[in-house]
Amino acid sequence: MKNLNELIRPDLQDIKPYSSARDEFEGEASIFLDANENPFENGVNRYPDPLQRKLKERIGDIKGVSVNQLFLGNGSDECIDLLFRLFCVPGKDRVSAISPSYGMYSVSAKINNIELNEILLNEDFSLPVDQIIESSKGSKLLFICSPNNPTANSFEVGDMLRIAREFEGIVVIDEAYIDFSDQPSLSKFIQEQSNLVISQTLSKAYGMAGIRLGLMIASTELIGWVNKVKPPYNINLLTQNFALQKLQHIGQTEKEILLIKEERSRLEKFLNAESRILNVYPSDANFILIRVEGADDLYDYLIKKGVVVRNRSKQPLCSNTLRLTVGTPEENNKLMEFINTYFS
Ligand SMILES: *Cc1c(COP(=O)(O)O)cnc(C)c1O
């Protein structure tokens, strides 16, 4: 990779981050008259910790990384957007991403006026490693989602590391579904491979989509730069407190993940046994992609039954596909019953 400072937007090199009252004084005091807050206590009248240190310590423990290697965003969406802002000059730079994949890469590219180079996966949804290395040359960022949404497969750790070694810019590995995967996170490589950014979220396995908490794991230098361009209080107090509280009961989350994986196997078995489903793609996530003739008809039928799945048929390589999220056992029973009656 290039030197990190060479990759940062030239006009941001000398940025002085906004300095809040909470940044300038963080010791013990009994009277806080520095932030123009309403002094009457109601639980939320004070600004939250701008760097979310308590929460980062807890998440760092769980993920096996230090506080300085962690960035928390208002959902992964904010993390992705901040990477665009930090590294890409609007109207000039370019980024690459695999395709089909998560829709936010292209939306964020568009909003930031950055050209997106989409690199098609192989027909079997595997990673075209050489082609990615070739085609992503000159890009500032490269997005690889693993396990990938919507194809549900993970990519080889060795392949992703090889790409990161050859790529001059920043490689973002989107691990939103890593907690359902049999493969390990790439987070243990962030110091030796300093152009790696690992993106994760509490929205999926951790059951907290509603509080909007995404995270990035990267070298302390890279995280330091993201901190300079983030909105001062990007994680609100309610989110910080709720996440801290919920992460005390990590055992419950682990149980849920196990059950979801069991249910995934059960659904896969059922779908594989249905001869009119052409393809059930092996899943390393909490959803299953199926290919079925007349996917639109099955989609409409399920809607009539009150079950909404995601029709991915318009995505590249995904004609006639539906993406089925693994639900509770009862919900999955219903889904299977409706698919049975649809085909009978
Ligand atoms: C769901 C999902 C996310 C999570 O986004 P949040 O903004 O954190 O809720 C990120 N990446 C992918 C690929 C996803 O499918």
Q: How many residues does the chain have?
A: 344
Residue 275 sits in the same domain as residue 241: no
Query: Which H helix or E strand runs over 323?
Result: strand 321-325
How many A from CA of 214 to the centre of ligand 1? 8
Structural contact between residues 97 and 142, judged by C-beta atoms closer than 8 angstroms: yes
Among residues 198, 222, 249, the one where a domain terminates is 249
Q: Indicate the residue type of 251.
A: G
Residue 96 sits in the same domain as residue 109: yes
Residue 160 sits in the same domain as residue 266: no
Q: Can you tell me the distance from the alpha carbon of 121 to that of 100, in angstroms, rounded to the nearest whole number?
A: 7
Q: What pLDDT is recorded for position 139?
A: 98
What percent of the chain has a predicted confidence (pLDDT) above 70? 100
Residue 207 sits in the same domain as residue 91: yes
Q: Which domain holds residue 270?
A: 251-343
Which whole number is the average pLDDT over 265-286?
A: 97
Which atom of ligand 1 lies closest to the CA of 214?
Answer: 8
pLDDT digits (tens, 9 = 90+) for 131-165: 999 999 999 999 999 999 999 999 999 999 999 99
> Does the pLDDT at position 1 exceed 80?
no
Query: Which H helix or E strand runs over 70?
Result: strand 70-73
Question: Could you tell me if the CB of 73 is within 6 A of ligand 1?
Answer: no
Question: Could you tell me if the CB of 75 is within 6 A of ligand 1?
Answer: yes
- Domain with 312 in it: what CATH number? 3.90.1150.10
Band (184; pLDDT cuts 50, 70, 90): very high
Band (256; pLDDT cuts 50, 70, 90): very high
How many A from CA of 83 to the centre of ligand 1? 15
Query: Starting at the edge strand that comes first in sequence, how are the strands of the sheet with 115-120 ordered?
Result: 70-73, 214-217, 196-201, 170-174, 141-145, 94-99, 115-120
How many A from CA of 85 to the centre of ligand 1? 19
pLDDT digits (tens, 9 = 90+) for 47-106: 999 999 999 999 999 999 999 999 999 999 999 999 999 999 999 999 999 999 999 999
> Does the pLDDT at position 341 exceed 80?
yes
Q: Tally helices (H) and strands (E) across the chain.
A: 12, 11
Angle of helix 76-87 versus helix 220-229 axis, rounded to 10? 90
Among residues 196, 217, 249, the one where a domain terminates is 249
Please state the domain count of the chain.
2
Among residues 249, 268, 293, the one where a domain terminates is 249
Residue 104 sits in the same domain as residue 232: yes
How many A from CA of 178 to the centre of ligand 1? 11
Question: Could you tell me if the CB of 201 is within 6 A of ligand 1?
Answer: yes
Residue 79 sits in the same domain as residue 199: yes
> Does the pLDDT at position 249 exceed 80?
yes
Buried b (16+ CB within 10 A) or exposed e, 230-267: beeebbebebbbbbeebbeeeeebeebbeebbebbeeb
Closest residue by Cα to atom 13, ligand 1, is: 102
Q: What pLDDT is recorded for position 27?
A: 81
pLDDT digits (tens, 9 = 90+) for 117-129: 999 999 999 999 9
